[in-house]
């Protein structure tokens, strides 16, 4: 009997013409897929040619086109500005007038005209890995030091889902180093926004598990809102992080349709990023 050749399933690759036609949410989703595919190839030490092929697709899409799509997604007419949630929460707390304007660090900023920038409640510093405006500093959050500013609020909106898995926990821990210590008037806030599937459809995460993880960092949940697409979480910074924190994957939910999103952290690892001198 003649043997039947086995065809290996491969990732679908968009043709150059199709890539150029991608717009809006489709462009953003495909860009995220490519970033994830590139990270997976690097983790399994794939052939450099495979990694370069994915990078070529990313280059073809272009970071500028991706960021323009992200900015359009934040357009208030499309209901995309997550900072509206933060502003509404702060207004509801009736803080003393003396706390305003609150120093805010916005990580992964793509717009200088969002609600937190125009509300007059905040004095905003903005950073992003790829700045698109003079008022947005091009900087990796892990490279930012307390000497550049301490904050009463940090916004981390749709950042962790883009970050390499091994840096996610480090980003959260590093943010606590940039938050002002709690006072009688106000406890510093941390605003975390994630795609809903990262929390609600992961094998390893849930609202309960992420709440417990954040408490290890001294961050306690004060506000939660979930929609079909997004999870909004606000935390108060009440105490310093634990000296030893180990977050490891533990399967909580089974199912072929679930994803593998997780936030790993191990403060005992010798390979962790060294602390800057002015962070000590």
Q: How far is CA 96 from CA 49, 85, 121, 153, in A?
A: 58, 20, 12, 16
Q: What pLDDT does residue 58 have?
A: 72
Residue 42: partners with Cβ closer than 8 Å, 6 or more residues away = 51
Report the distance separating Cα 268 and Cα 261, nearest Å: 22
> What's the rounded mean pLDDT across residues 50-73?
66
Structure tokens at 109: 């900023």
Length of the chain, in residues: 280
Question: How large is the angle between the packed helices 63-73 and 24-43, nearest 10 degrees?
Answer: 130
pLDDT tens column, 150-159: 999 999 998 9
Residue scoring higher pLDDT (162 or 14) = 162
pLDDT tens column, 217-272: 999 999 999 999 999 999 999 999 999 999 999 999 999 999 999 999 999 874 44
Kind of pairing between the strands at 122-128 and 137-138:
parallel
Q: Is residue 134 a contact partner of residue 224, using CB atoms and an 8 Å limit?
A: no
Detail the residues annotated as belonging to a binding site for S-adenosyl-L-methionine: 108, 128
Neighbours of 238 (CB within 10 A): 14
162 band by pLDDT with thresholds 50, 70 and 90:
confident
Domain residue spans of the chain: 16-73, 77-279
Kind of pairing between the strands at 230-237 and 219-226:
antiparallel
Instruction: Evaluate the CA torsion angle 130, 69, 107, 125 in order and state its sign.
Output: positive
- The CATH number for 77-279, chosen from 3.40.50.150, 3.20.170.30, 3.20.20.80, 3.40.50.920, is 3.40.50.150
* Beta bridge pairs of residue 105: 125, 154
Q: How far is CA 62 from CA 19, 58, 131, 198, 216, in A?
A: 10, 6, 14, 25, 38
Report the distance separating Cα 279 and Cα 67, nearest Å: 31
pLDDT tens column, 62-89: 655 555 555 554 544 333 689 999 999 9
Helix/strand/coil percentages in the chain, nearest 5: 40, 20, 45
Q: What pLDDT does residue 41 have?
A: 83
240 DSSP 8-state letter: P
Detail the residues annotated as belonging to a binding site: 108, 128
Report the distance separating Cα 63 and Cα 67, nearest Å: 6
Per-residue 3-state assignment (H helix, E strand, C coil) for 198-230: HHHCECCCCHHHHHHHHHHCCEEEEEEEECCCE
Question: How large is the angle between the packed helices 63-73 and 48-61, nearest 10 degrees?
Answer: 50
Q: Is residue 221 a contact partner of residue 237, using CB atoms and an 8 Å limit?
A: no
């Amino acid at each position: 009997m003649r043997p039947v050749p086995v065809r290996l399933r491969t990732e679908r690759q968009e043709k150059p013409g199709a890539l150029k036609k991608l717009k809006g949410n489709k462009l953003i989703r495909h860009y995220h897929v490519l970033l994830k595919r590139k990270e997976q190839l690097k983790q399994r030490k794939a052939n450099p040619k495979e990694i370069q092929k994915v990078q070529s697709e990313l280059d073809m899409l272009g970071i500028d086109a991706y960021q323009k799509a992200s900015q359009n997604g934040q357009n208030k007419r499309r209901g995309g500005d997550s900072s509206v949630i933060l502003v509404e929460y702060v207004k509801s707390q009736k803080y003393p007038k003396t706390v305003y304007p609150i120093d805010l660090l916005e990580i992964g900023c793509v717009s200088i005209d969002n609600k937190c920038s125009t509300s007059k409640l905040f004095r905003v510093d903005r950073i992003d890995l790829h700045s698109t405006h003079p008022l947005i500093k091009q900087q990796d959050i892990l490279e930012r030091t307390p000497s550049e500013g301490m904050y009463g609020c940090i916004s981390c909106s749709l950042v962790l889902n883009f970050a390499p898995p091994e840096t996610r926990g480090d980003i959260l821990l590093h943010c606590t180093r940039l938050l002002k210590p709690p006072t009688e008037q106000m406890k510093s806030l941390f605003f975390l926004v994630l795609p809903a599937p990262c929390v609600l459809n992961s094998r390893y995460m849930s609202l309960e598990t992420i709440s417990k993880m954040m408490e290890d960092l001294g961050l306690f949940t004060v506000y939660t809102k979930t929609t079909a697409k997004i999870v909004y979480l606000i935390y108060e910074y009440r105490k310093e992080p634990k000296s030893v924190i180990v977050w490891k994957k533990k399967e909580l939910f089974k199912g072929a349709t679930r994803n593998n999103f997780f936030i790993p952290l191990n403060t005992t690892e010798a390979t962790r990023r060294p602390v800057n001198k002015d962070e000590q």
